[in-house]
């Protein structure tokens, strides 16, 4: 899916309702639940782009009530990561949510999400161990803890996640299954720039030279998908991919792997249901991407 325009926020006062506490959100949404409306949730950290809005559009099509959350979650950032620098523009985000038909924006502060003495961490094991889980220790504990908290506060029937963060999507799906939460998790395909770069709030960090190099992340995965055939040496192909990224101007590669799309276990041979995953850095900016591999006949 490609995006060939930049989102700009309309200058109107929002007709949606912004809520800061779980109690207010529950009270405001109850009449809609009593009415039997399907409740959809789109969790975000703001700095919205067309990728986020694709989730909102799908939620709007599916659901009678759409809640979007805005919360830059400190617990999913590691030490030395970009929590303080992460782009924040609440007014613009709210205008965009409004223009796309969101009913309620839930924008709690950190004390509402993690009150003093809050002592629960939700950990999913197994599929959190590789890829971003290995590169960013503790990251997925932060994700599953905040998402379970958002689920508790928003009580959605359906929640929407981008395949851009595919491991996150699978981790949340696993959490919901194993905890028996009655919430359907829907994955939305990655929205890309015309040159293949996946839209990301972090793309704003890239200088012009880095921006020119960045589409190589997608380009290299795409090229690698074409190199897979039965009998291929997967480890050698991934090594080729890592080197191709360095040659294209990336400063380092966190991972470049081919894994089973459900278990995220690294593949040892060509098979059905594989996915390519890559994370690499341009200067201080870490970009991630992934794509499915259609197994050639
Ligand atoms: P974030 O604000 O980065 O936490 O992202 C909020 C949601 O938007 C997550 O489910 C992301 O996977 C999703 N998302 C981010 N970028 C994209 C994209 N380019 N295409 C589709 N979904 C995306």
User: Tens digit of pLDDT for each residue in 8-35?
Assistant: 655 556 789 999 999 999 999 999 999 9
Torsion angle defined by CA atoms of residues 246, 251, 253 and 256, in that order, rounded to the nearest 10 degrees = -40
Q: How confident is the model at residue 294 (pLDDT cuts 50, 70, 90)?
A: confident
Angle of the 234-247 helix axis to the 216-227 helix axis, nearest 10: 150
Instruction: Map out the domains of the chain as residue ranges.
Output: 17-188, 207-292
> Where would I find the H helices in the chain?
22-34, 50-62, 90-99, 110-113, 131-135, 139-154, 166-178, 208-213, 216-227, 234-247
Tokens 């689920």 -> residue = 151
- Is the confidence at residue 5, as pLDDT, over 60? no
In short, whether 99's Cβ falls inside 6 Å of ligand 1 is no
Q: How confident is the model at residue 6 (pLDDT cuts 50, 70, 90)?
A: low
Torsion angle defined by CA atoms of residues 218, 44, 17 and 118, in that order, rounded to the nearest 10 degrees = 180
Evaluate whether 164 touches 198 at the Cβ level (below 8 Å). yes
Angle of the 166-178 helix axis to the 139-154 helix axis, nearest 10: 60
- Which pLDDT score is estimated for 76? 95
- How does DSSP assign 128-150, residue by residue? TSSHHHHHSTTHHHHHHHHHHHH
- Which pLDDT score is estimated for 12? 56
* pLDDT one-digit tens code per residue, 182-235: 999 999 999 999 999 999 999 999 999 999 999 999 999 999 999 998 889 999
Q: How confident is the model at residue 139 (pLDDT cuts 50, 70, 90)?
A: very high
pLDDT average, residue stretch 152-168: 98
- How does DSSP assign 190-230, residue by residue? PPB-TTSPBP-GGGGG--HHHHHHTTHHHHHHHHHHHH--T
- To the nearest whole number, what is the mean pLDDT of the chain? 94
> Of 2, 49, 52, 139, which is the active-site residue?
52
Residue nearest atom 10 in ligand 1 by C-alpha distance:
161
Among 52, 53, 144, 173, say which to mutate for ligand 1: greatest number of ligand atoms within 8 Å of CB.
52
**CATH number of the domain at 207-292, please?**
3.30.1300.10
Among 165, 172, 217, say which to mutate for ligand 1: greatest number of ligand atoms within 8 Å of CB.
165
Any residues with CB less than 8 A from the CB of 11 and at least 6 apart, and which? 95
* Cα–Cα nearest to 289, from 125, 166, 181, 110: 166
CA 164 / ligand 1 centre spacing (Å): 6
Any residues with CB less than 8 A from the CB of 67 and at least 6 apart, and which? 25, 29, 39, 40, 41, 42, 102, 103, 104, 105, 106, 154, 156
DSSP SS3 for 255: strand
The answer to whether 52 is a known catalytic residue is yes
DSSP SS3 for 42: strand
* Cα–Cα nearest to 249, from 217, 213, 288: 213
In short, whether 45's Cβ falls inside 6 Å of ligand 1 is yes
Q: What percent of the chain has pLDDT over 90?
A: 92
Residue nearest atom 14 in ligand 1 by C-alpha distance:
162
Q: What is the DSSP letter of 103?
A: S
Q: What percent of the chain has pLDDT over 70?
A: 95
* pLDDT one-digit tens code per residue, 235-283: 999 999 999 999 999 999 999 999 999 999 999 999 999 999 999 999 9
* pLDDT one-digit tens code per residue, 42-93: 999 999 999 999 999 999 999 999 999 999 999 999 999 999 999 999 999 9
- Which pLDDT score is estimated for 267? 96
Residue nearest atom 5 in ligand 1 by C-alpha distance:
44
CATH topology of domain 17-188: Rossmann fold (3.40.50)
Rg (CA), the chain: 19
* Cα–Cα nearest to 291, from 276, 269, 273: 276
């Amino acid at each position: 899916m490609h995006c060939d325009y930049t989102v700009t926020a309309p200058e109107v006062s929002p007709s949606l309702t912004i809520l800061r506490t779980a109690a207010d959100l529950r009270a405001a949404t109850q009449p809609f639940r009593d009415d039997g409306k399907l409740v959809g949730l789109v969790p975000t950290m703001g700095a919205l782009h067309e990728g986020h809005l694709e989730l909102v559009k799908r939620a709007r099509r599916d659901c009678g009530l759409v809640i979007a959350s805005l919360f830059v979650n400190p617990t999913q950032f590691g030490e030395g990561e970009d929590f303080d620098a992460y782009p924040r523009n609440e007014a613009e985000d709210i205008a965009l949510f409004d223009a796309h038909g969101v009913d309620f924006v839930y924008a709690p502060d950190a004390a509402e999400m993690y009150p003093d003495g809050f002592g629960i961490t939700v950990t999913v094991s197994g599929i959190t161990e590789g890829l971003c889980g290995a590169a960013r220790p503790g990251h997925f504990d932060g994700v599953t803890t905040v998402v379970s908290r958002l689920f508790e506060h928003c009580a959605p029937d359906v929640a929407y996640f981008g395949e851009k963060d595919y491991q996150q999507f699978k981790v949340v799906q696993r959490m919901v299954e194993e905890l028996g939460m009655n919430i359907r998790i829907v994955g939305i395909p990655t929205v890309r720039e015309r040159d293949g770069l996946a839209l990301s709030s972090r793309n704003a960090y890239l200088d012009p030279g880095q921006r020119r190099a960045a589409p190589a992340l997608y380009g290299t995965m795409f090229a690698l998908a074409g190199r897979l055939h039965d009998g291929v040496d997967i480890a050698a192909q991934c090594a080729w991919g890592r080197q191709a990224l360095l040659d294209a101007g990336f400063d380092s590669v966190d991972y470049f792997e081919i894994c089973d799309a459900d278990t995220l276990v690294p593949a040892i041979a060509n098979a059905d249901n594989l996915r390519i995953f890559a994370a690499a850095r341009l200067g201080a900016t870490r970009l991630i991407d992934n794509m499915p591999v259609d197994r050639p006949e």
